[in-house]
Structure formats: structure tokens, C-alpha cells
Amino acid sequence: MPKRVFSNRLVTRLSVVLTLALVPLGAIAIYSEYDGWQRQRSDMETRLISRTSDAVQGQRALLGSAMDAARMLAPTLLELADDPVACSEYLAEFIDEAGLYAFAGFITAQGQMACVSTGEEQDFSESDDLAQMTEDPRPSFSFQPLGSATRQPVVLANFPVVEEGTFQGIVSVSISQATFRLISTPSDPDSGLISVVLVNAKGHTLATSGADDRTEILPDAEQTTRFIARRQGIFIAPSVSTSERVYTMVELAPRQLFALGSWSSEVTRASLTPDLWRIAFPVLMWVASVGALILSLHYLVVRHLRHVNVQLRRFALGNRADFQRLPEDAPLELREIDSTFSKMARLIRRDEIERETVLQEKTVLLKEVHHRVKNNLQLIASILNLQMRRLKDDQARTILRGVQTRVRALASIHRTLYEETNVSNLDATMFLESIMRDTLALAPMQTSRIQISTQLDTVTISPDKIVPVALLFSEALTNALKYATTDAQEDRASLSITLTADGPGIELCLRNSCARPEDATTDSGLGRELMTAFALQIGAELDMGAVEDEQGSGWQIRLRLNGGHASADTPAPNANERALS
């Protein structure tokens, strides 16, 4: 079905109108649902971040106290840096009094750690962490799976010591993993929080809440680094075990310490992703509304309109049977339209019958007129024939014979009009052939010495022009037969007659042969005057004159008439070649 036809359908247009009417309501509903989901997501994010932060309050406080202790020790250790023994005794006493820390030490800018709370002096001059701290001295946390002094997993709070803009060293305070486990709170599976991990700014794991180290539910290093760059928020990403999970990232200490929480997808994902069914509800309502509209429109209107259209189409194609009326359950407006169409059809049928009767009467009357005119003309031709027999003057007989020929031509035309069933467009070929037969029959002596060829296309001419054309052809044919002579190239005289369709009009051409162009006769008498008058009467172009072409010398009469045309229901033009003897 063409696109334009589909768009012009009543159902399509009403669907578009209904859609435009429902668009504001649908937009409001979708916006309301989306805004509610955004508020719900915001509330959920706030709760998840708060729970993540609360789950590591103990570890956060412990690491914060370790960093504060390192900051507090820095001035004293800087003064005691020249006396490693006194410095180490001071740190050992501090560790014993605090009871929370496993180790404390001071690393100089050269990488030597001689001031330690326990253990021996160590060299960190090749350490990458020291080199990075020297370039960017800021507090940080790090994890050592095997402490150099304690020989156990520890978390270090590293505080850079800077004096007058010069990096002097690092104060490190470590906390053992056992201490973290003592103060950690096991995760509650019912809350949805499975595990919380403390990470530093580089994404390295420092400690986990609870006793289990469930690294398979955490994201990979690249995802963790991306979360840290966002500093805080909620993320949905695959874990190390490739299962998609919900994560929360909380910044506990600016650019130093972060808490990464892993949540159960079943508990939180429904709140973090929009409910597509709720958002799609307006779309479903639109589909249901359009469907109800189409069904109701089809049942109440379209099927009845199609019934009326079928009846009208049958009537337009000529079926004059009575209309099948719409059922009583059809809407009143459509039944009124159907009743109006039925009355109109009855009136049209009555008018058609009356017109057919009048047309038939006029056709019979017109045929009778043509028949009587033909009989009268034949009677005049017979009277002229009787008069010619009584005359002894050859010139008078010739004049009367010319008049008789013209009268017979008129009689032939009216006979053809009488026999023709359709007089709105007449077959010119039939008229010309009839006149040619009658003319040749009246002049047997002339035609015995002439070879006649015809090529007549099937063309139609209106009734108001066919009579002048036929009379002009009769005059031209009579003159062509009368004055045709043998030229130098042929043994016999020749006459060619052509009737062709020429664009919007027709062209009639008669050409006879003659010995020399200067011997051609123009017939400057009555015949020429009559042909000129007939051409002017129908607004045609008439050319007469001598010609010299590949056929030899001759005389040609050419008539060009607008308003004729080739018949569409006839075969292609035919050509007949006849030799009359």
C-alpha cells in the first residue's frame, strides 16, 4: 500500500490525533516516574554510603589515631634523630603506653631507619615509596604483608616530616591485622552489605571488615582506581569473579583513605536502576487506547462506510441494482447518508432512462433525416441524368455531369451518416473510400488508364467537419482523375491518395502524374473555388501546385486539418496498392 494512501486513512489520522492528545499526559507520567526513581536512588545512595562509612568506623578511627600519633611524634623524633638510641627508647616507650600499635619508626631522607621502637636498623634508600614521598610529601597509608620489624601483616600510617620546606623523613606507625580484626564488625547479610574494604589512594587494600577476606566479590584494580578518582558514589561493575555487583566508594580521609563496600545485587540493584515497566506504562496505555479506538472505529464506522463504498462503486461501474441498506444497528448519521445515496441512485436511474429514451428518439429522427436527404439527393441526381440525355450540347452535358457528381457525393455522405451508429466521431477512412468507389464507378474510361494507390490511416473527424472534407476530397479526386497524364518515367498515369495522422490533426494528400510540370492543369474554375471554400469553412490549410520529386512530374493537393486524430482502438495504418483497368 502506498505510504500516502496509508497516511490518509481515517484510522491513521485519528491515531495521530489521539497520540498528540496523550503526549502531555504521557510525558507527565514518565517524568513523574523518573523523578520518583531519581529521589529513590538518591535516598538509596545516601543510605548505602552511610552504611558503608558506619561499617568501618572502628578501623577508620584506629587509622586516624595512628596518623595523629605519627604527626605528634614528628617534632620529637626530628630532635632525637642524631641520637638513635634515645630515639628508639622513646618510640618503644610510646608503643608500650599506647597498646594499639605494633611498631613505630623514623626513616630519614637518606632512607636510613635507625630510630625504631623494636628491631634493628634498616636501609630503605632503594624504596619506591620513599622516592615518591620525597617528590610529593603528603600523609598516606600502606599495607605490608610482612612487616620488616614485626614480621606480620601490618598497615602503616606514614607522615612526612618537612621543616622549612625541606623533606626530613617519614614517621611510620603500624597497626597489625589482628588489631583490625578485634575492632571490626561482621557484615550483616540481611542489610545487603557483604564486605567493606579499606583502600589507600593507590587502590591497595589495607583491611577488610569482618574476619573473612572475600576478594572475589571486589572489583579489579582498574575499576577500583576509577572509583577512587570519583572519590565518592555508587557504581555497578563486574567483580573479579565476573559477576556484576553494586559498589559504594566513601572518602574517609581526603586523598588518603577510602572505604569500598560491596553490596548484594538482589537487594540494591532494583533501587539503583529505573523500573522500565513503570516508565513504559504510559506507552502501554497509548497502545491500549489506540487499539480500542481502532476496534471501535472499525465496528461503528469503517465497516459501514466500506459497505456504502462498495454499493457506490457497483453503481459507478454500471450496476443499477437496488442498494443494500445498512443494518439497523448502524449509527443514525451513517444510515442517513445511506438513505441519501439510495435516493440519489434512484433519481439517477430515472434520469438515465429518460435520457436514453430521448436519445434513442433523436437518433432515429436523425437517421431518418439523413435517409430522406440521401433519397432526395439521389432523386435530384436521377433528374439531372434524365436532363443530360435530352441535351445535345456537350458543354451543357459536362456542366450537368459535374453537378450530378457533386450531388452523388453528398448523397453518399448522407447514406454513410445514416448507416453509422456513432456520429460523435466519424471514421474519415470509411467516408473517403465510399466517395472514391462512387467516383471511380462514374468514370470507368478515366480509371482504365490510371494506376491508383492508396494509404489511408484510420482517423476520426468530428461531424461538423466531415462533410466539407468529404466534398473537398470528391472535387480533388475528380480533378486528379480528369487531368492525370503519363510522365516521362512511367508507362501509365498514376494517382496516389494518402490520409495520415499528423500530430493533433490529419493530412490528406492527392498526387497525380503529368508529362511535364508546365503541362499540369490547376482547374482554375468552379472546382478550385469549391475546394478553397470548403477549406476555409473548416479552418484547414490547402496547398495546390505542381511538384517535381523522385516520382517524377505531378500535381499535388494537400489538406492539413486540426482536430482529427488517430483511432485508439484500431490497428496500425494499412496501405493498399490497386491497379484499375
User: What integer best gives the mean pLDDT of the chain?
Assistant: 78
Q: Are residues 87 and 204 in the same domain?
A: no
Q: Are residues 192 and 49 in the same domain?
A: yes
Q: Are residues 531 and 559 in the same domain?
A: yes
Instruction: Check residue 445 and give its pLDDT.
Output: 60
Q: How far apart are CA 254 and CA 262, in angstroms?
A: 21
Instruction: Check residue 3 and give its pLDDT.
Output: 52
Q: What is the pLDDT of residues 372-397, one digit of tens each?
A: 888 998 899 889 888 888 888 888 88
Q: Are residues 509 and 480 in the same domain?
A: yes
The x, y and z cell numbers of residue 57, run together, are 568506623
Confidence band, pLDDT 50/70/90 cuts, at residue 211: very low
Say which range, 10-14, 338-342, 453-457, 542-546, has the weakest mean pLDDT: 10-14
**Which H or E run contains 546?**
strand 541-549
Q: Are residues 470 and 553 in the same domain?
A: yes
CATH number at 452 reads 3.30.565.10
C-beta atoms surrounding 236 within 10 Å: 14
Q: Are residues 38 and 87 in the same domain?
A: no
482, burial (CB in 10 Å: exposed 0-12, middle 13-18, buried 19+)? middle
CATH number at 261 reads 3.30.450
The x, y and z cell numbers of residue 291, run together, are 487499539
Whether 487 is covered by a domain: the verdict is yes
Residue type, 6: F
CA 74-75-78 angle, 5° bins: 85
Residue 181 CB contacts under 8 Å (≥ 6 apart), including other chains? 211
Instruction: Check residue 575 and give its pLDDT.
Output: 39
Instruction: Check residue 571 and give its pLDDT.
Output: 42
CA distances for 305 relative to 308, 462, 498, angstroms: 5, 43, 56
How many alpha carbons fall within 13 Å on the CB side of residue 285? 16
Spell out the long-range contacts of 417-424 with Cβ–Cβ below 8 A and sequence spacing 24 or more.
Answer: 417/370, 417/463, 418/367, 418/370, 418/371, 418/374, 423/366, 423/463, 424/462, 424/463
Domain boundary, last residue among 183, 217, 244 = 183
Instruction: Check residue 522 and give its pLDDT.
Output: 46
Whether 560 is covered by a domain: the verdict is yes
**380 in helix, strand or coil?**
helix
Q: What is the pLDDT of residues 39-70, one digit of tens each?
A: 877 777 788 888 878 777 878 888 888 888 88
Q: What is the pLDDT of residues 400-416, one digit of tens each?
A: 887 887 888 788 778 87
Q: Are residues 448 and 565 in the same domain?
A: yes
Spell out the SS3 assignment of 31-44: HHHHHHHHHHHHHH
Domain boundary, last residue among 251, 275, 299 = 275
Q: Are residues 150 and 208 in the same domain?
A: no
Q: Are residues 89 and 164 in the same domain?
A: yes
Question: How many Å is the Cα radius of gyration of the chain?
Answer: 59
Whether 422 is covered by a domain: the verdict is no
Domain boundary, last residue among 231, 255, 275 = 275
Range(s) of the domain holding residue 563? 432-579
Q: Are residues 548 and 464 in the same domain?
A: yes
Q: Taken in order 368, 370, 371, 377, is the CA torsion positive or negative?
A: positive
Whether 319 is covered by a domain: the verdict is no
Residue 391 CB contacts under 8 Å (≥ 6 apart), including other chains? 397, 400
Q: Are residues 445 and 564 in the same domain?
A: yes
Residue 157, sorted as left (phi over 0), alpha (psi -120 to 50) or beta, turns out to be: beta
**Which H or E run contains 368?**
helix 332-390
Q: How far apart are CA 511 and CA 557, in angstroms?
A: 6
State the average pLDDT over residues 233-262.
80
Q: Are residues 451 and 561 in the same domain?
A: yes
162 in Cβ contact with 156 (< 8 Å):
no
Q: What is the pLDDT of residues 462-506, one digit of tens each?
A: 877 888 888 888 888 888 888 888 765 666 788 889 998 877 788
Instruction: Check residue 19 and give its pLDDT.
Output: 76
Question: What is the percentage of the chain residues whose pLDDT exceeds 90?
Answer: 1
Closest CA to 184 of 205, 208, 206: 208
Whether 305 is covered by a domain: the verdict is no
Q: What is the pLDDT of residues 433-459, one digit of tens each?
A: 888 887 777 666 666 678 888 888 888
Q: What is the pLDDT of residues 531-550, one digit of tens each?
A: 888 888 888 889 888 888 77
Whether 208 is covered by a domain: the verdict is yes
Say which range, 126-135, 187-196, 437-446, 482-491, has the weakest mean pLDDT: 187-196
Sheet with 505-513: list strands edge to edge.
541-549, 552-562, 505-513, 493-502, 450-456, 576-579
Whether 302 is covered by a domain: the verdict is no
CATH number at 76 reads 3.30.450.20
Structural domains counted in the chain:
3
Each residue of 324-358: b (16+ CB within 10 Å) or e? eebeeebeeebbebbeebbeebeeeeeeeeeeeee
Whether 144 is covered by a domain: the verdict is yes
